[in-house]
Amino acid sequence: MSLLDVLTQYRKDPSLAAGPASLLPDAETLDQSDPLRHKRDEFLLPAQSVYLDGNSLGPMPVAARQRAQAVLDQQWGEDLICSWNKHSWIDLPQTVGDKIAPLLGAAPGQVICCDSVSINLFKVLSAALGLNPGRRKIVSQRDNFPTDLYVVQGLQQLLGDAQRELEVLPEEEIEGALDDQVAVLLLTQVNFRSGYAHDIARLTRAAQAHGALVIWDLAHSTGVMPLELDQWNVDFAVGCGYKYLNGGPGAPAFVYAALRHHAALRQPVAGWMGHQSPFEFSPEYTPAGDIRQFLAGTPPILSMSVLDAALDVYRDVDIRQVKQKALDLADYFAARMMEFPSLQSLELATPLAHIERGAQLAYVHPQAFAICQCLIAEGVIADFRAPNILRFGFSPLYLSFRDLDKALERFAVIMKEELYALPEFNVRKKVT
């Protein structure tokens, strides 16, 4: 019986979960048969906590720490400006892009590391609209990550509201809204709140059947969801370096642009690093003919180097195993939660079908904010998303099933004793 089967049975008949005999294998057994268990040694994990927020900020890989040291002491400290050549700083955006490519199912030369997800969305959205002239509609999802919608609104305002129309729809109405007016379908694969995962292949086909281009935001996918962007014929994608890729706080993001668009596209944030020959210092902008045309200014070398090193954690990993373990961890967590009476007030908001899920679970509770603060104080690092969502991320390269037991035991006490009601856990913070 798979972990999902147990979870499904528990949900069908909660008395099974409440009973004395657990249907779940014990955590130690699961850890022993985990093919990824050796990867944990490649991370520097906080001593006392169980870290269930790798979907927001991944922990530090050992290799990243070492690289940071080398960039500081040798590269910046000693070789200074010569490092642009000597340590290949100039190639970093492409080097990192080519390391991310296999995680996306992308042939080399189609991914580049640069800037932030927001800025990269602005670039690819402008480029996609330029490739689809005469169409005015951009379709997206009402509860997309807000920055995706803000980027559309910012561009709309710049181009004049009359020229572009943003249609934001509930999840279930998107496919039906695709028609021959649509220029671009802009979606995030895994919903940041609910953890629901779109079927990229199907929606891409549907949009392209109407002549639309697609842009996928893979912030909550990259490094944990098996992706086949080339095979699925995706046009553009963007994603994040600091979540499952463990590239450090605010690590640079990336752009995927299908090779077939490289010659015709034009992205508007033109800067010297995207020029065909940046060191000719020509006054006329001639974009690089390849993926480098998405570069603008000088990249933050320290942050990008750390991401480069962090990506080496993936060198010997099969991404399908990563996804499977993420699902197993989540299934175990959700099923085991049902065995604690005090945790029954939390309502799961993530679909159960594996095909419809990312690597996180969302639970709804009216006191979600205070519960999250209390969990953190007790060393269970989760996060809160307004108005009432408690998110748990299951990043598989360093989490064990025993970690989840430890987290759930603390969680159960917090709920049983209502510790979250203490005033200290009910003070709003700047970042929630």
| Cβ-based nearer residue to a second copy, 17 or 183 | 183
CA atoms of 147 and 1, how far apart (whole Å):
41
- CA 336/CA 371 separation, integer angstroms: 18
Minimum separation from the CB atom of position 421 to a second copy (A): 21
Q: Which 279-298 positions form the footprint of a second copy (CB under 8 A)?
A: 279-285, 296-298
Give CA–CA dist 210/193, Å, rounded: 29
What is the spatial distance between Cα 215 and Cα 238, in angstroms, rounded to a whole number? 8
Q: Could you give the residue numbers annotated as active site? A: 145, 217, 242-243, 391
Residues 312-371 interacting with a second copy (rule: CB under 8 A): none
CA 187 – CA 175 distance, rounded (Å)? 11
Q: Does the protein bind a second copy through residue 424 (CB under 8 A)?
A: no
- By CB under 8 A, residue 248 contacts a second copy: yes
Taking CB under 8 A as the rule, does residue 372 contact a second copy? Answer: no
Kindly state whether residue 79 participates in binding a second copy, applying the rule CB under 8 A.
yes
Q: What would the DSSP string read from start to end of 162-208? A: GG-EEEEE-GGGHHHH--TTEEEEEEESB-TTT-BB--HHHHHHHHH
Choose one: 255-263, 275-283, 315-323, 403-411; the region binding a second copy (CB under 8 A).
275-283
User: Which residues, numbered 95-124, are part of the site for a second copy (CB under 8 A)?
Assistant: 115-119, 122
Among 18, 80, 421, 422, binds a second copy (CB under 8 A): 80
> What's the closest the beta carbon of residue 335 comes to a second copy, in angstroms?
26
Q: How far is 384 from 379, CA to CA, in rounded Å?
A: 15
| Contact between 209 and a second copy per CB under 8 A | no
Q: Which stretch binds a second copy (CB under 8 A): 2-10, 25-33, 56-64, 354-362?
A: 56-64
Task: Return the residue matching tokens 């000597």.
Answer: 86
Q: Which residues pair with 348 in a beta bridge?
A: 363
Spatial strand order of the sheet with 360-364 comes to 347-348, 360-364, 389-393, 383-385
Annotated binding-site positions for pyridoxal 5'-phosphate: 118, 145-148, 188, 217, 220, 242, 272, 298
Annotated binding-site positions: 118, 145-148, 188, 217, 220, 242, 272, 298
